[in-house]
Structure 1
Amino acid sequence: MSYALVTGAAKGIGKAIAARLAEKNYHLLLVDIDADNLRETATELAAQYHVNVHTLHQDLSHPDVLQQVLAWSTPYHDHLTVVVNNAGYGLNGAFETLSLTEQFNVIDVNIKAQVGLSYAYIPVLRQFPKAYLLNVASTTAYQTVPYLNIYASTKAFALSFTRGLRHELRHSTISVSALSPGSTDTDFVNRARMGSHTRSIANRFNMTAASVGKIAVDGLFKGKAEIIPGFTNKLNAWLPKFFPKAFVERIAGNIYEPKEETPAAVLSAS
């Protein structure tokens, strides 16, 4: 009887990763800020895969979140062999126009929670002959992204942190991987408050959350250092290094710069 802990598991990629793990007979510990969707996801996965699913409604930006998550998960530590730090979000807009409080919140969730939970669960994972830690980054980690600046910067941190941690734990029983998805059909664009211009571009390249979840879990169990789902996303991660940074930043800025919405554009995005 093995357990897997997944943060940001109520919907999207987190839910898809949890489903793939349940399909592989893992019982689940699911954490999310969205209580309603978390409850629905738990019911759905338990019924579909006949596994035990335990949930914790929690905002990972809270200062004492680490102690709360650890206390909740402690009864399952003797069987917890997989930890997935998936929770994260971004905000679309110019740095100076976005609330500083909100931007610090992004950093708290995308960086502080990931680092804290990794630190907390490494001793738990070490007790097993084989265990796995997956930290979610993004294809934005491979370049500067104006107007999605804080998010992309946190994901660059996540990628660098995870690769460094993988090297440090290379002689241990823990396999550490980073997942870098690109555009995915999730609620990310809504929470990031992206306009119709950016949404329309993203929609051309969207992968389904289910396909990303499958690739993520399969890559994790194969021990891959970096998991980039889809050929287009691999290309987007690889190409920027061959072009001047100012050129790459201009292209990214054109994609993510908020455009003035016409009434028709607002209607189509609603």
Structure 2
Amino acid sequence: MKKYALITGASKGIGRAIAESLARSGHHLLLAARSEEELQQLSELLKEAYKIEVFYLSIDLSVEHAAEQVAAWCKAQAPSLSILINNAGYGLWGDFDQLTLHAQMNMLRLNIDVVVELTHHLLPLLKQQTQAYVLNISSTAAYQAVPTLSLYAASKTFILSYSRALRYELKDSAVSLSCLCPGPTATGFSSRAGMDALADLAEKFNMSPENVAKIGLKGMFNKKAEIIPGFLNKVSVFGTRILPKSLIERITARLYQQ
């Protein structure tokens, strides 16, 4: 039976790197993202290079009922779905009261609601497989409050907590759920979040999307609960567990100050 993987936010960054890695290992792909041009180019590249099936859907996942549309499309294309990668998401940088409420609620919709809805829609399909996997993409920001990235960090904390709880609920099923928590990665996140002033700082600590994807998929297939790629990221997460929260907040506030 053919193995299919659905990847949201698949056209660039970690999502694209995961798509390329899974294609290399023989998985057929379902790709969902906003840019039809980027999806078409990636689809043609992967089909030619790895002789696999690739279907894509250009869609704004933040709009109402988008997750339902993706799930219906996925079921029609691949009844044997065995991997779900919830990768779509972004951040906004700035003081909470200075950013527009609309922009922030749109971010929360994509970072939280779509992950929950899409997973709920597709779990029945995943449970039909002998072995299936879900990989939710969170962030090292999930482990502490981050001033000027307050809602982004909070959304990633939600994803981490939700992933661990759902993982336990699924422990006697065919579905293994993991959560990938990368630190700074060369994905264009800083630019999308409006953090151009910190771009030089980010470049000093960035991991490549390919490396993050490799570590993330290895952890997923090994059924790890949490996957933190990179030694420095592991150290920073350990620090959040032993240092006072107020100290961590002062450090992050200075790091991300406007």
TM range (shorter): over 0.9
* Aligned twin of 1:155: 156
Matched, 1:72 2:73: yes
Distance (Å, rounded) in 2 between the aligned partners of 1:239 and 1:20 = 31
One-letter code aligned to 1:69? V
Cα deviation, residue 256, structure 1? 1.2
Distance (Å, rounded) in 1 between the aligned partners of 2:23 and 2:45 = 11
Alignment of 1:1-270 (within 5 A): 1-196=2-197, 198-258=198-258
Distance (Å, rounded) in 1 between the aligned partners of 2:78 and 2:169 = 22
- Structure 1 residue matching 2:97: 3-state secondary structure: helix
One-letter code aligned to 1:219? G
Distance (Å, rounded) in 2 between the aligned partners of 1:178 and 1:170 = 15
Distance (Å, rounded) in 2 between the aligned partners of 1:218 and 1:17 = 11
Cα deviation, residue 137, structure 1? 0.4
One-letter code aligned to 1:134? L
- Listed one character per residue, the Cα deviations across residues 29-82 of structure 1 (whole Å, up to 9, x for unaligned) are 000012222222212222222211111111111111122112211223422100
Q: Is the 8 A contact 1:201 1:255 kept in 2?
A: no
Q: Is the 8 A contact 1:11 1:41 kept in 2?
A: no
Distance (Å, rounded) in 2 between the aligned partners of 1:215 and 1:170 = 22
- Listed one character per residue, the Cα deviations across residues 128-149 of structure 1 (whole Å, up to 9, x for unaligned) are 1100011110000001100011
Distance (Å, rounded) in 1 between the aligned partners of 2:50 and 2:143 = 36
Q: Is the 8 A contact 2:5 2:28 kept in 1?
A: yes
- Structure 2 residue matching 1:29: 3-state secondary structure: strand
One-letter code aligned to 1:114? V
For structure 2, list consecutive stretches of 5 or more residues without a partner in the other structure: none
Distance (Å, rounded) in 2 between the aligned partners of 1:256 and 1:51 = 42
Q: Figure out how many residues of one structure are paired with residues of the other and give that number.
A: 257
Q: Is the 8 A contact 1:45 1:53 kept in 2?
A: yes
Distance (Å, rounded) in 1 between the aligned partners of 2:50 and 2:239 = 40
Distance (Å, rounded) in 2 between the aligned partners of 1:45 and 1:139 = 30
One-letter code aligned to 1:252? T
Distance (Å, rounded) in 2 between the aligned partners of 1:76 and 1:177 = 24
Moved over 2 A (4+): 75-78
More off after superposition, 63-72 vs 91-100:
63-72
Distance (Å, rounded) in 1 between the aligned partners of 2:210 and 2:11 = 13
Distance (Å, rounded) in 2 between the aligned partners of 1:96 and 1:120 = 34
Identity of aligned residues (%): 44
Distance (Å, rounded) in 2 between the aligned partners of 1:65 and 1:46 = 26
One-letter code aligned to 1:221? F
Q: Is the 8 A contact 2:133 2:175 kept in 1?
A: yes
Distance (Å, rounded) in 2 between the aligned partners of 1:131 and 1:241 = 31
Distance (Å, rounded) in 2 between the aligned partners of 1:77 and 1:165 = 24
